[in-house]
């Protein structure tokens, strides 16, 4: 199993979140030609209050957010738009992801998308962060968004960046 999921908020059960997270993470790694059996990701399914605590502690931003990620090592590319450094063994830990129920629910509703589709996107997004992808610089954002769109498309979901 690629993901080890801890559910702190029971509302996630309606989405079968553990299966959703596993499927999304597997799809991201498969798309990037990484063997999911070689890696581990810890996923925390929490609420806005808990993610606000984490956002304060790790990013000094005392507000809730949709998803946070903590890569086990720095893999980001030096040049804007370059592919990040691939993960190397023998450590199998890619990192940790936390996702907040209320924020995801609000965003899905605002976008007119099913909650499961939006959450799948955010798990893929978080996994890409663990692999060194980012969206701060313009070319990096274009690369990351293109990957998200391709991965989700293979899963049967629409482009999350389409207006």
Domain boundaries, the chain: 3-154
Predicted pLDDT of residue 119: 98
Pick the CATH number of 3-154 from 3.40.390.30, 3.40.50.720, 3.40.50.300, 1.10.357.10: 3.40.390.30
Question: What is the model's pLDDT at position 83?
Answer: 95
CA nearest to 71, candidates 62, 58, 60? 58
Q: Which residue has the tokens 């790790």?
A: 58
Q: Residues of the chain whose pLDDT is less than 70?
A: 163
Mention every residue, 6+ apart, whose C-beta is less than 8 A from residue 16: none
pLDDT given for residue 34 in this prediction: 95
135 belongs to an annotated ligand binding site: yes
User: Is 121 marked as a binding-site residue?
Assistant: no
Tell me the three state secondary structure of residue 99.
strand
Position 122 scores a pLDDT of 98
Annotated binding residue 125: yes
Give percent helix, percent strand, percent coil of the chain, each to the nearest 5. 50, 15, 35
> In the prediction, which pLDDT does 38 show?
94
Q: What's the pLDDT score for residue 88?
A: 84
Q: Which residue has the tokens 């499927």?
A: 23
Whole-angstrom distance, CA of residue 53 vs CA of residue 75: 25
């Amino acid at each position: 199993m690629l993901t080890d999921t801890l559910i702190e908020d029971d509302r996630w059960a309606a989405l079968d979140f553990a299966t959703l997270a596993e499927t999304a993470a597997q799809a991201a790694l498969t798309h990037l030609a990484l063997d999911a059996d070689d890696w581990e990701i810890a996923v925390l399914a929490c609420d806005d209050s808990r993610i606000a605590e984490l956002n304060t502690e790790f990013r000094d931003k005392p507000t809730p957010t949709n998803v946070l990620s903590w890569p086990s090592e720095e893999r980001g590319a030096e040049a804007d738009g370059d592919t990040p450094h691939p993960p190397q063994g023998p450590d199998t830990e890619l990192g940790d992801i936390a996702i907040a129920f209320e924020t995801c629910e609000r965003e899905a509703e605002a976008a007119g998308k099913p909650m499961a589709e939006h959450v799948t996107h955010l798990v893929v997004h978080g996994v890409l962060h663990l692999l060194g992808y980012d969206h701060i610089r313009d070319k990096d954002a274009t690369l990351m968004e293109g990957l998200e769109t391709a991965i989700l498309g293979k899963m049967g979901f629409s482009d999350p960046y389409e207006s």
